[in-house]
Amino acid sequence: MNDKTRKELIWIAGVLVVLIGAAIGNVIYISMHNDNLAQNVDAHPTYPSNATIIRVDATQWSWAFIYANGTESVDTFNVTVGKPVVLVVTSIKGAEQFAVIHDLSIPKLDVQLYAIPGQNNSLSFTPTVVGSYYFECVEYCGLDHYEMRGMMNVVA
């Protein structure tokens, strides 16, 4: 093995160590935080038993948040600080329109899940700081896609 080949192999080994290390870290995170990643409800993901379950219906172009007691709010919703929240998201047909693919994202809380017609996706998160957080649709869904956004309030 000449000097040149040795240098090349050292570089490749270095890259391998960094990347495989990062990949292992990522797998460990996924296995520990299953409930924070978007999953199909049909796969029966497990969530904290005291969680507030909020059903989210996406239409062209608004978000409807429906609580277990039947109260509904559009493009805004309230959650309680420190209490786990489970979002169950799907896409439904508006008047004269199609049920298309949307994507609910709350960037500052690391929450993102696709709203897919005929499929319920869910994840859970726990807000820890009181305040307002913006959420938005991040999958292009037609004319007024950009207006499909709002504020989530974390209240005490």
Partner 1 sequence: MFSFGSLFSLASIGLTGTNLNLLYISIILGIIGIVLFYFYFRIVPAKEYLHEEAEAAGYERSNEYVRDKLSDKPRELSWKIFLYDDSKSIGLRYIFTSILFLCIAGSFGVLMRVSLTEPSPTIIGPAQYNVLMTEHATLMIYMFVLGAALGLGFYLLPSHLKLKKDTMGVYTSFAYWIWLAGGLFILISRAALRWYFYPPLSLELTQVGGGEFAWLAVLGLELIFIGLMVASVSIIKIIAFDRSPDIKLNQMSLFTWSILFTVIMGVTSAPPLMVGLGMLFYDYFNPIFFITGTNTLLFTILFWFWGHPIVYMAVIPFFGIIYEILPKFTGSKVYSYNSGVWGLGLLLILSELVWGHHLLNSGLGIEWITFFTTMSFLVVIPSAITVFNFIATLWTAKSIRMTVPMLFVLNGIVDFIIGGITGVMQSFAPFNEQVHGTYWVTGHFHFIFIGITMGISFAAFYMLFPTFTGGRKYNVSLARWHFGLTALGSYIMAFAWSVGGFLGMPRAVAGYFGFFQGYQDASIIGGVIIGIAQVIFLYNIAVSWLKAPSTSTDNAFEQGNTGPTDSHSAELNKVPAVSGGK
* Window 61-100: residues binding partner 1 (CB under 8 A): 97-100
Site for partner 1 contains 131 (CB under 8 A):
no
End-to-end Cα spacing for the chain? 67
Total residue count of the chain as it appears in this document: 156
Distance CA 118, CA 139 (A): 17
In the bound complex, what is the minimum distance in angstroms from residue 80's beta carbon to partner 1?
22
Distance CA 119, CA 117 (A): 6
Which two tokens mark 123?
């994840």
Site for partner 1 contains 107 (CB under 8 A):
yes
* Window 26-55: residues binding partner 1 (CB under 8 A): 26-27, 29-31, 33-34, 36-40, 43
**The binder of partner 1 chosen from 53, 64, 66, 101 (CB under 8 A):** 101
